């Protein structure tokens, strides 16, 4: 899986960077999991994967290319304030999601 950042836009009001990216997989690979993409973007942007929120990930039909949008926040607290709850749940590990549901 190869991650290519197409564009970044600074949003100082919400204390985040809005990132558009493209993922190129191998010819026989399936669309990568959201958590894999989140970790790959964190490495590419040189930040912790806790502050990266993948909003959309869509594979182009008949290709091995996926395009997506993510937000990279300055802190985890800021991400939880701004992002809707369902986006935060999608971007957390299954163990964390279960802990938050029972709390």
pLDDT value for 93 = 81
Average pLDDT, the chain: 89
The structural domains of the chain, ordered by start, are 2-102 (3.30.70.330)
pLDDT value for 102 = 64
| 50 CB-near residues (< 8 Å, 6+ apart) | 76, 79
Residue 101 has pLDDT above 80, yes or no: no
Strands (E), 1-86: 2-11, 16-24, 52-59, 65-73
Six token digits for residue 50 = 């806790």
* 97 pLDDT tier (thresholds 50, 70, 90): low
Q: Taking the mean position of all CA atoms in its chain, how far away is CA 64? A: 18
| Number of neighbouring beta carbons within 10 Å of residue 7 | 8
Each residue of 9-52: pLDDT tens digit?
999 999 999 999 999 988 888 888 999 999 999 999 999 989 99
pLDDT value for 44 = 92
Each residue of 66-89: pLDDT tens digit?
999 999 999 999 999 999 999 999
Q: What is the pTM of this model?
A: 0.83
């Amino acid at each position: 899986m190869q991650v290519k950042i197409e564009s970044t836009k600074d949003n100082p009001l919400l204390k985040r960077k809005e990132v558009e990216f493209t993922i190129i997989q191998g010819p026989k690979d399936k669309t990568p999991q959201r958590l894999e993409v989140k970790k790959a973007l964190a490495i590419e942007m040189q930040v912790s994967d806790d502050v990266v929120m993948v909003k959309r990930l869509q594979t182009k039909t008949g290709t091995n290319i996926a395009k997506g949008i993510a937000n990279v926040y300055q802190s985890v607290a800021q991400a939880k304030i701004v992002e809707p709850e369902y986006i935060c749940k999608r971007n957390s590990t299954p163990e964390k999601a279960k802990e938050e549901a029972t709390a």
